[in-house]
């Protein structure tokens, strides 16, 4: 069979993502901190972009207060002119550079929830910038590395007078301490590691135990313990001798810690020969101890969250606005833009043209990002007003497709907008994805959000009798009486997600 070459002409359509669209999508999915880094990189790499000076910002803020009806920048869309006084300034380019504004999605005027566009692109107040110098004195405390348990123990060891032999034993013991403050190796293993066949005077086990006993007085109390029982006894021994019920607490920990762990209070009362009110006082002393002494040192670096959207109630209506601190002000540099000459194809002029075009697209992408974020947040607040007014029990079921249909966008876009974006509300700061949840059908034919069910479970557990906590089956039955049909395993799943222990571990002696 002979293959024959031929030419054919076909027509077809394909979707191609332009670099500008790719940039807009990338900015849309960035978190607030990542966006600030992206803007700073753009300012460093593109000479056409700049931020206004501080005195200029102060002047504009005062002008805005004195004249709320001032003329809007030419590059804003119609919807933006109606709702915003923005600071993403773009000066007029030369006449040959005037271009038709790109069409942008507009926000519907008739929304059940008020939407504020005032100052949505505004940076932090100038007063905050002026206070930066005042905070320099706190630079060391804000930027030093967090102290670890090992650092804390080393500091105390350096202040403890020990000879070289005991110091070597102390370091060997310290190497075996985990983050909780417990020894992870037995004394036999530590002693074997210190043995040297060539040593004429080998380390004895008594020496290891003596050094361990000395280290067990280090801070935090209970450190260098080999098990929970020893950890609690170390802490009890460091309490003042006149502490009420101290002897009885030692008795319970020494002989009946197993019964205490199983919460078998009936056997504990019988064997310890304590009365119920006495055992309650003893348990108060025991529960004041720390079973994980190493956790008392906060080693985790603080994780700060900057909300992207602020929600507050104004005149009986929930008002949604973008956080003015999520991004610095940015605009096109008028001086560089004026250097572009008409019909000049030189390398310098071409470079300026390209940078100006990139600057315009970057500003438009930022505007598009904030407009989309505000539209999505507005619809979420509109749907979840019950949560804002009443709390988690009033949370309604919500999925991505519901918001996607409301704002006429694809679900993937809504997913990008709601990832790592946070909303500040009177009830706290929540990620936008927090407001989305599955649903369970009710007896009346309605739907109940899984978030609301978790809140109900938490409320039932908080109101239960400590002596007889509610089992998962009982909680499922009580929810069914309220018209919410959930299985026992579903209750268990929600309970574990909220880190609520099972009923046998919640049992308390009252």
Q: In this structure, what DSSP letter does residue 203 have?
A: P
Note whether 239 and 362 are same-domain residues: no
Does the structure show a pLDDT above 70 at 351? yes
Note whether 197 and 272 are same-domain residues: yes
Note whether 119 and 201 are same-domain residues: no
Question: Mean pLDDT over residues 411-438, rounded?
Answer: 89
Domain presence at residue 11: no
By the 8 A CB rule, do 420 and 31 touch? yes
Give the span between the Cα atoms of 438 and 449, in whole angstroms: 6
What pLDDT, on a 0 to 100 scale, did the predictor assign at position 8?
Answer: 80
Give the span between the Cα atoms of 63 and 85, in whole angstroms: 11
Give the rounded percent of residues in the chain with a pLDDT score beyond 70: 77
Note whether 419 and 387 are same-domain residues: yes
More confident residue, 342 or 503: 503
Kindly report the number of other CB atoms within 10 A of residue 87's CB atom: 23
Domain presence at residue 71: no
CATH number at residue 507: 1.10.10.60
Note whether 414 and 431 are same-domain residues: yes
Give the span between the Cα atoms of 223 and 436, in whole angstroms: 44
Distances from the Cα of 276 to the Cαs of 238, 243, 244, 253, 267, in angstroms? 26, 19, 16, 17, 12
Give the span between the Cα atoms of 37 and 306, in whole angstroms: 14
**Confidence bin at 430 (pLDDT 50/70/90):** very high
What pLDDT, on a 0 to 100 scale, did the predictor assign at position 504?
Answer: 83
Number of domains within the chain: 3
Does the structure show a pLDDT above 70 at 121? no
Distances from the Cα of 124 to the Cαs of 50, 130, 299, in angstroms? 16, 11, 30
Give the span between the Cα atoms of 32 and 429, in whole angstroms: 14
Give the span between the Cα atoms of 236 and 253, in whole angstroms: 10
Straight-line distance from the first to the last Cα atom of the chain, in angstroms, rounded to the nearest whole number: 94
Does the structure show a pLDDT above 60 at 337? yes
Sign of CA dihedral 72, 74, 79, 85: negative
Does the structure show a pLDDT above 50 at 365? yes
Give the span between the Cα atoms of 235 and 239, in whole angstroms: 7
Dihedrals φ, ψ of 428, to 5°?
130, -175
Pairing mode, strands 447-449 and 331-332: unpaired
Longest dimension (CA), the chain: 106
Question: Mean pLDDT over residues 7-12, rounded?
Answer: 80
Look at residues 369, 324, 359, 371 and name the one whose alpha carbon lies nearest to residue 91: 359
Question: Mean pLDDT over residues 117-123, rounded?
Answer: 42
Note whether 166 and 286 are same-domain residues: yes
Q: Which helix (H) or strand (E) holds 56?
A: helix 54-66
pLDDT in tens, 260-305: 888 888 899 999 899 989 999 999 999 999 999 998 876 566 677 8
Least confident interval from 159-168, 300-309, 358-367, 403-412: 300-309
More confident residue, 302 or 98: 302
Note whether 499 and 418 are same-domain residues: no
Long-range contacts of 185-188 (CB under 8 A, 24+ apart): 186/226, 187/212, 187/226
pLDDT in tens, 451-477: 889 999 999 999 998 888 999 999 999
HSE toward the beta carbon, residue 344, CA cutoff 13 A: 14
Give the span between the Cα atoms of 375 and 406, in whole angstroms: 9
Note whether 498 and 409 are same-domain residues: no
More confident residue, 65 or 233: 233
What pLDDT, on a 0 to 100 scale, did the predictor assign at position 13?
Answer: 72
Look at residues 373, 375, 491 and name the one whose alpha carbon lies nearest to residue 431: 373
Note whether 339 and 265 are same-domain residues: no
**Confidence bin at 449 (pLDDT 50/70/90):** confident
Domain presence at residue 143: no
Kindly report the number of other CB atoms within 10 A of residue 387's CB atom: 25
Does the structure show a pLDDT above 50 at 257? yes
Domain presence at residue 184: yes
**Confidence bin at 328 (pLDDT 50/70/90):** low
> Of the candidates 436, 465, 492, which is a domain's last residue?
436
Instruction: Report the chain's mean pLDDT, rounded to a whole number.
Output: 79
More confident residue, 101 or 506: 506
Residue with tokens 């499922």: 476
Distances from the Cα of 63 to the Cαs of 51, 57, 90, 302, in angstroms? 18, 10, 18, 38
pLDDT in tens, 151-200: 999 999 999 999 989 999 999 999 999 999 999 999 999 988 888 756 67
pTM: 0.61
Dihedrals φ, ψ of 107, to 5°?
-90, 130
Q: In this structure, what DSSP letter does residue 431 have?
A: E
Note whether 290 and 157 are same-domain residues: yes
Contacts of 401 (CB under 8 A, 6+ apart): 411
**Confidence bin at 9 (pLDDT 50/70/90):** confident
Residue with tokens 């809504």: 414
Domain presence at residue 77: no
Q: In 323-468, where do the E strands start and end? A: 331-332, 422-425, 428-431, 439-441, 447-449
**Confidence bin at 256 (pLDDT 50/70/90):** very high
Domain presence at residue 447: yes
Give the span between the Cα atoms of 495 and 486, in whole angstroms: 13
Does residue 318 sit in helix, strand or coil?
strand
What pLDDT, on a 0 to 100 scale, did the predictor assign at position 343?
Answer: 66
* Residue range of the domain that includes 355: 20-63+84-126+302-436
Note whether 322 and 414 are same-domain residues: yes
> Of the candidates 296, 318, 340, which is a domain's last residue?
296
CA 236 to chain centroid: 37
> Of the candidates 436, 463, 486, which is a domain's last residue?
436
Look at residues 425, 434, 377 and name the one whose alpha carbon lies nearest to residue 403: 377
By the 8 A CB rule, do 449 and 491 touch? no
By the 8 A CB rule, do 378 and 113 touch? yes
Note whether 338 and 379 are same-domain residues: yes
Q: In this structure, what DSSP letter does residue 115 have?
A: E
CA 193 to chain centroid: 43
Domain presence at residue 420: yes
Query: If you count them, how many residues does the chain have?
Result: 510
By the 8 A CB rule, do 48 and 332 touch? yes
DSSP β-bridge partners for residue 125: none
């Amino acid at each position: 069979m002979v293959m024959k070459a031929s030419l054919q002409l076909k027509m077809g359509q394909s979707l191609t993502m332009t670099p500008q669209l790719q940039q807009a999508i990338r900015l849309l999915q960035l978190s607030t901190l990542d966006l600030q880094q992206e803007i700073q990189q753009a300012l460093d790499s593109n000479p056409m972009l700049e931020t206004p000076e501080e005195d200029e910002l102060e002047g504009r803020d005062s002008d805005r207060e004195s004249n709320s009806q001032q003329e809007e920048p030419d590059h804003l869309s119609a919807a933006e002119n109606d709702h915003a006084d923005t600071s993403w300034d773009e000066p007029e380019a030369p006449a040959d550079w005037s271009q038709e504004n790109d069409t942008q999605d507009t926000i519907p005027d008739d929304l059940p929830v008020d939407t504020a566009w005032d100052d949505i692109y505004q940076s932090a107040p100038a007063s905050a910038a002026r206070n930066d110098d005042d905070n320099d004195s706190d630079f060391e405390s804000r930027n030093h590395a967090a102290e670890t348990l090992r650092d804390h123990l080393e500091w105390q060891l350096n202040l403890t007078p020990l000879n070289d032999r005991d110091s070597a034993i102390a370091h060997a013991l310290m190497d075996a301490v985990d983050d909780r403050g417990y020894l992870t190796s037995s004394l036999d293993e530590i002693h074997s590691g210190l043995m040297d066949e060539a040593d004429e005077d080998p380390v004895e086990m008594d020496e290891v135990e003596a050094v361990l006993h000395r280290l067990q007085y280090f801070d935090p109390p209970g450190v260098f313990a080999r098990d929970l029982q020893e950890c609690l006894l170390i802490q009890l021994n460091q309490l003042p001798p006149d502490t009420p019920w101290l002897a009885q607490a030692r008795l319970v920990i020494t002989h009946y810690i197993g019964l205490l762990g199983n919460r078998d209070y009936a056997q504990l009362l019988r064997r310890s020969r304590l009365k119920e009110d006495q055992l309650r006082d003893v348990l108060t002393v025991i529960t004041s101890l720390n079973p994980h002494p190493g956790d008392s040192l906060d080693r985790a670096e603080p994780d700060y969250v900057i909300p992207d959207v602020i929600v507050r109630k104004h005149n009986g209506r929930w008002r949604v606005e973008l956080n003015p601190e999520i991004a610095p002000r940015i605009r096109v540099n008028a001086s560089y833009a004026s250097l572009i000459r008409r019909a000049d194809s030189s390398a310098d002029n071409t470079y300026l043209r390209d940078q100006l075009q990139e600057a315009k697209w970057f500003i438009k992408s930022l505007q598009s990002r904030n407009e989309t974020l505000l539209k999505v947040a507005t619809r979420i607040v509109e749907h979840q007003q019950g949560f804002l007014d009443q709390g988690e029990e009033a949370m309604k079921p919500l999925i991505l497709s519901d918001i996607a249909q409301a704002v006429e966008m694809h679900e993937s876009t809504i997913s990008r907008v709601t990832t790592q974006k946070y909303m500040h509300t009177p009830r706290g700061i929540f990620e936008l994805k927090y407001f989305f949840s599955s649903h369970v059908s009710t007896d009346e034919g309605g739907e109940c959000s899984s978030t609301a069910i978790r809140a109900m479970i938490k409320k039932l557990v908080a109101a239960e009798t400590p002596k007889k906590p509610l089992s998962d089956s009982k909680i499922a039955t009580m929810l069914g009486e309220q018209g919410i049909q959930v299985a026992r395993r579903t209750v268990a799943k929600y309970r574990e997600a909220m880190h609520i222990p099972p009923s046998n571990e919640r049992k308390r002696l009252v």
